[in-house]
Amino acid sequence: MTVTTDRNHLETSVFDELTLIVARTDERVRMELIDGKLRSKVVPDGDHGRIIEWLLRICMQSRPELFLYPDQGLKVQAYRSGRARPDGSLAPSGAFVGQGEWAAPEPVLMAVEVTSYDSDTDARGRVEKPRAYAETGIPVYLLIDRDSCEVTVYSEADGVRYESARTVPFGKTVALPGPVDITLETEQLKDWVR
């Protein structure tokens, strides 16, 4: 769902009010604000959750000083006027203590998205979020794409976009570049797609 106003961009304060209303009325939907557009994000299915669990375990085993925070809201984009809720944010343990629902993105080493089976996935996960995370300066963006059965690793953010994007099919090994420095064996991802 995309909601726009008669102005080009929805103000952050209006977004915050709408988020509270939606949270009280429908717990199956989460809200995001990217490029001034209000987006709804459907609550993930079981396979989606299993992929996040899989990745969380790998991250904890490989880098125990870090934690993959599921669904931590982040202030994104060049002027922090966007609000995104990555499926996972890899950051030092304790990085978001005292920050509230929408945290500063500076400690985030990697943002993670796992595609959902909805009509908004293409625009949100493959276009808007890579741009928003690159503008924010998040070093790595990991897209686990269940539609194409591929993993894409975006890196080398230049403040506008990621200059590097490497895509591999499920089943291949992929190295997450620094500052993440974790290698993923993606064979198991084949078990969690339709």
d(CA 153, CA 115): 14
Query: Measuring CA to CA, how many Å separate 87 from each of 73, 143, 169?
Result: 9, 10, 20
What confidence category does residue 81 fall into, taking pLDDT thresholds of 50, 70 and 90?
confident
What confidence category does residue 116 fall into, taking pLDDT thresholds of 50, 70 and 90?
confident
> What mean pLDDT, rounded, does the chain reach?
83
Query: Measuring CA to CA, how many Å separate 53 from each of 1, 18, 186?
Result: 27, 30, 13
| 88-92 and 66-69 beta bridge pairing | antiparallel
Q: What is the mean pLDDT of residues 3-24?
A: 52
Give the model's pLDDT for residue 14.
58
d(CA 34, CA 25): 22
Give the domains, in start order, of the chain with CATH numbers: 45-192 (3.90.1570.10)
Give the 3-state secondary structure of residue 84: strand
Based on C-alpha coordinates, what's the Rg of the chain?
Answer: 16
Beta bridge partners of 139: none
d(CA 18, CA 92): 30
Is the pLDDT score of 83 beyond 80? yes
Q: Where are the beta strands (DSSP E) in the chain?
A: 2-3, 29-34, 37-42, 66-69, 73-76, 82-84, 88-92, 102-103, 110-114, 140-145, 150-157, 162-169, 173-176, 182-185
Give the model's pLDDT for residue 103.
95
Amino acid code (one letter) for 1: M
pLDDT single digits (tens) 14-25 = 555 555 454 455
**Residue bearing tokens 């030092």:** 92
Higher pLDDT, 2 or 94: 94
